[in-house]
């Protein structure tokens, strides 16, 4: 065989542009369906190619195809739901089938004339791959199906869409049947998963017998730990001396083994491993050994598939012993340093952790790989200085106070556009109600004589309109008073902050930290810029620093100080 690099060069040079590839997929959703076996599909596809005189590419590429035939064991229904969008307007998603992905790339570049497949559901059973396959066909890729022929008319396109829809629907129905069957089995108490060490997995969910070798050792583990005389580490050593091992299991397949052809699959030996402390702890905390199994709501229910290895009393005693010895020392020696967990990196979100060097308090962040923030370490003085500047800016300037006072006394622009819109709507509603009341009063007698209203319903309608009108007028008065009170409260808060800043200037570090946490809920640092989030009570003052028309100009968030931009 040629080296792989030379084969790829031959493909990209256009050597096989007049040849077809054969795609065969064995569905993992239907492992017992002989019709869809690799051997069956290969024979049918090759027979079809000979009959239609379609040349199959004489190409063998490791991990992709043999003699132009691609065979893959993978579900065509499952798909990755993660989608990303690029600045260029491209929509990207991940294809789970590695060989199908490589095939799609080759076909999109025109390296092969087309592809031969048994039927649509061998190529795809999900919408994303259906769309990809349709785009390849529209771009000139000749897709031949052994069991179907689609003409180039609208009827042929409809036929193709229906086949794609039913291929996806078939897998969806199969998935629903599996979920429903699992739900019903768990409802009855059947063990639908692999039994843990100490039981035998013989391929029958209704019967999980004891392992005659491991079960007695595991039972002894529970009894020994329940006495309180054994530590987990000592119990692990004892279990290994008794020959206790985990259930034999196979390692994960390598990428080469997953891409192997049907006749090249390597047999993976199942290996039983010795016990570790983690294995023993997992055994001692598993309620399965009390004769219970997973239910549908995450709780353990009485099992009809296996018997209890230990009684509830022993199991509960073991849990009490484990919890009594489960003393976490993770935060036992945590130093009481200032601003712990308060500052974060603005780019990656990692916390700046406090630490001391030569009596100076620093804050360091272990940012994620690729984080653009180069400021990995800051000191306490930097935070206190910058936060002092921010606190001083939260107070109103003399000019802002004059504008607020003018707004209160002259009643100019008390509400934002939303408030003005509400008033207009209320005025229209009040006018409509007044017109209705006028009509009722002017036509009272005709309405009563004609039977449109009875005396009772007439009074009810008039009362309803008057009530609605009064409510609209009260809401408007309440809003005026609330806005006036809000302005007064914010001004008072600004005055208190001005006094608080004077206190902050002369406070020690502990007192400054307390003041900072009262005003701010979070700090974030990017390069030399310290950003912040104010607590709810201070957000009206915080939002004053939003530029309007002029990026260097600050403004208040209060509606009374908003002015339209002259450049608009």
**Both tokens of residue 83?**
């989608």
Asked if CATH classification 3.40.50.1390 holds for the domain at 4-173, the reply, yes or no, is: yes
Instruction: Say what the pLDDT of residue 411 is.
Output: 46
CA-CA distance, 163 to 143, in Å (whole number)?
14
Name the strands in the sheet holding 529-534, side by side, starting at the edge strand that comes first in the sequence: 343-345, 520-526, 529-534
| C-alpha span between 58 and 53 (Å, rounded) | 15
Residues 78, 27: Cα–Cα separation, whole Å: 11
DSSP class of residue 511 equals: H
Q: And the tokens for 395?
A: 């107070």
Specify the CATH architecture of the domain 214-324.
Answer: Alpha-Beta Complex (3.90)
CA distance 376 to 366: 7
Q: Is 446 helix (H, G, I), strand (E, B) or coil?
A: helix
The token pair that represents 140 in the structure block:
């000139």
CA distances from 483 to 26, 115, 408, 561 (A): 70, 71, 9, 13
User: Can you tell me the distance from the alpha carbon of 178 to that of 318, in angstroms, rounded to the nearest whole number?
Assistant: 36
Task: Please give the structure tokens belonging to residue 394.
Answer: 């939260």
- What are the angstrom distances between the C-alpha of 35 and each of 44, 164, 370, 534? 11, 19, 50, 66
pLDDT for 36 equals: 66
- Those residues with Cβ within 8 angstroms of residue 373's Cβ, 6 or more apart along the chain or in another chain: 345, 346, 347, 348, 365, 367, 525, 526, 527
pLDDT score recorded for residue 415: 46
Digits of tens for pLDDT over the chain (568 positions)?
678 888 889 889 989 999 999 988 887 555 444 456 788 888 888 999 999 999 999 988 888 888 888 888 766 556 666 667 777 777 776 777 788 888 888 998 999 999 998 887 787 777 777 788 888 888 888 988 888 887 777 777 777 777 767 766 666 777 777 788 888 888 888 988 889 999 998 888 889 999 999 999 999 999 999 988 888 888 999 999 988 988 777 777 666 666 666 555 566 777 888 889 889 999 999 999 999 998 888 788 899 999 999 999 999 999 998 887 655 444 445 567 777 777 888 888 888 888 888 888 888 888 888 888 888 888 888 888 888 888 887 777 777 776 666 655 554 444 445 555 666 777 777 778 778 778 778 887 787 777 777 777 778 777 887 788 777 666 655 555 555 566 666 677 677 777 777 778 888 888 888 888 888 877 888 877 777 777 766 766 666 544 333 333 333 333 333 333 333 3
Helices (H), 507-538: 509-519
Task: Measure the N-to-C terminal CA separation of the chain; round to a whole number of Å.
Answer: 72
Taking Cα atoms as reference points, which of 187, 218, 194 lies closest to residue 308? 218
The domain limits of the chain are 4-173, 214-324, 398-561
Q: What residues pair up with 523 in beta bridges, in sequence order?
A: 343, 532
pTM confidence score: 0.43
SS3 assignment for 385-438: HHHHHHHHHCCCCHHHHHHHHHHHHHCCCCCCHHHHHHHHHHHHHHHHHHHHHH
Cα distance between residue 380 and residue 338, in whole Å: 9
Distance CA 439, CA 457 (A): 15
Q: State both tokens at 371.
A: 């984080």
Determine how many CB atoms are found less than 10 A away from the CB of residue 323: 9
> Any idea which residue has 């229910």 for tokens?
301
């Amino acid at each position: 065989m040629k080296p792989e690099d030379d084969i790829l060069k031959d493909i990209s040079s256009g050597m096989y542009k007049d040849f077809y590839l054969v795609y065969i997929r064995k569905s993992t959703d239907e492992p017992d369906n002989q019709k869809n076996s690799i051997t069956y599909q290969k024979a049918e596809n090759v027979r079809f190619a000979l009959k239609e005189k379609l040349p199959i590419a004489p190409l063998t590429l490791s991990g992709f195809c043999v003699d132009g035939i691609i065979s893959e064991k993978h579900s065509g229904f499952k798909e990755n739901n993660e989608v990303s969008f690029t600045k260029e307007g491209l929509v990207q998603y991940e294809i789970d089938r590695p060989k199908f992905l490589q095939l799609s790339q080759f076909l999109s570049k025109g390296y092969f004339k087309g592809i031969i497949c048994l039927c649509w559901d061998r190529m795809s059973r999900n919408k994303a791959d259906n769309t990809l396959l349709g785009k390849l066909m529209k771009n000139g890729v000749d897709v031949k199906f052994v069991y179907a022929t689609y003409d180039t008319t609208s009827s042929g396109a409809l036929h193709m869409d229906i086949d794609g829809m039913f291929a996806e629907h078939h897998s969806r129905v199969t998935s629903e049947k599996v979920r429903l069957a699992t739900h019903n089995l768990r409802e009855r108490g059947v063990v639908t998963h692999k039994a843990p060490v100490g039981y035998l997995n013989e391929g029958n969910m209704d019967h999980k017998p004891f392992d005659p070798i491991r079960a007695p050792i595991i039972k002894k583990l529970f009894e020994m730990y329940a006495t309180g005389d054994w530590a987990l580490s000592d119990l692990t050593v004892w279990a290994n001396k008794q020959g206790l091992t985990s259930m034999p299991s196979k390692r994960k397949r390598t990428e080469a083994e997953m891409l192997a052809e049907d006749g090249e699959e390597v047999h993976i030996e199942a290996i039983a491993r010795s016990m570790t402390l983690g294995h023993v702890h997992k055994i001692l905390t598993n309620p399965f050994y009390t004769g219970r199994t997973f239910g549908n709501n995450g709780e353990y229910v009485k099992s009809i598939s296996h018997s209890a290895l230990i009684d509830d009393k022993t199991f509960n005693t073991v849990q009490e012993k484990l919890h009594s010895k489960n003393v976490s020392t993770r935060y036992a020696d945590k130093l009481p340093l200032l601003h712990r967990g308060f500052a974060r990196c603005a780019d990656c979100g990692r916390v700046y952790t406090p630490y001391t060097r030569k009596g100076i308090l620093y804050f360091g962040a272990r940012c994620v790989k690729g984080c653009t923030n180069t400021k990995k370490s800051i000191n306490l003085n930097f935070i206190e200085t910058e936060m002092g500047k921010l606190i001083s800016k939260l107070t109103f300037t003399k000019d802002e106070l004059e504008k607020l006072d003018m707004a209160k006394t002259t009643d100019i622009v008390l509400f934002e556009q939303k408030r003005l819109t509400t008033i207009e709507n209320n005025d229209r509603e009040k006018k409509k109600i007044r017109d209705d009341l006028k009509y009722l009063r002017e036509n009272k007698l005709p309405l009563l004589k004609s039977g449109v209203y009875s005396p009772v319903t007439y009074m009810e309608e008039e009362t309803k309109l008057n009530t609605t009108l009064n409510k609209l007028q009260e809401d408007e008065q309440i809003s005026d008073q609330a806005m006036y009170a809000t302005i007064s409260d914010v001004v008072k808060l600004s005055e208190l902050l001005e006094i608080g800043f004077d206190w902050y200037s002369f406070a020690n570090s502990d007192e400054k930290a307390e003041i900072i946490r009262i005003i701010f809920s979070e700090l974030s640092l990017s390069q030399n810029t310290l950003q912040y989030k104010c607590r709810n009570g201070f957000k009206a003052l915080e939002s004053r620093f939003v530029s309007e028309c002029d990026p260097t100009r600050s403004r208040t968030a209060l509606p009374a100080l908003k002015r339209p931009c002259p450049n608009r």
